[in-house]
């Protein structure tokens, strides 16, 4: 794995969804709209968080989204518009390295 060429221009974005149906709809749309190169769905995660004064305990689906940094704002807006949550989790994390061929593929497939 090379970190010298890095992926400073790429992001891994974490998004949670209430169920697989919503997660699949978001994942497919993100790829179809070229806002993401790839989205992995991890069902059955358990989330604990405080919401409106009460601690919540929910089973959710985690979307792991691979995209370009310059697509992050459009991706976040798109998710917020279509997501059923009042305040969806949308966290962009920097990519510090990886397989150069895979990083290049992300760049190509998430180009507008």
| CATH number of the domain to which 67 belongs | 3.30.70.120
Of 102, 87, 86, 80, the residue nearest 12 (C-alpha) = 102
Spell out the per-residue pLDDT of the chain, length 112, in tens.
Answer: 444 567 899 999 999 999 999 999 999 999 999 999 999 999 999 999 999 999 999 999 999 999 999 999 999 999 999 999 999 999 999 999 999 999 999 999 999 8
Q: State which residues form the domain around 63.
A: 7-109
Residue 41 lies inside a defined structural domain of this protein: yes
The token duo for 100 is 């150069």
Residue 1 lies inside a defined structural domain of this protein: no
Residue 2 lies inside a defined structural domain of this protein: no
Q: Count the domains in the chain.
A: 1
Round to whole Å and give the CA distance between 61 and 99: 26
């Amino acid at each position: 794995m090379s970190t010298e060429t890095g992926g400073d221009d790429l992001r891994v974005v974490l998004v949670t969804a209430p169920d697989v149906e919503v997660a699949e709809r978001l994942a497919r749309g993100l790829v179809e709209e070229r806002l993401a190169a790839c989205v992995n769905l991890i069902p059955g995660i358990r989330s604990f968080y405080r919401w409106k004064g009460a601690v919540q305990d929910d089973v959710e689906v985690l979307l792991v989204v691979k995209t370009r940094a310059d697509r992050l704002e459009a991706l976040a807006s798109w998710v917020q518009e279509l997501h059923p949550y009042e305040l969806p989790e949308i966290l962009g994390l920097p990519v510090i390295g990886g397989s150069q061929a895979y990083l290049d593929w992300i760049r190509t497939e998430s180009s507008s």
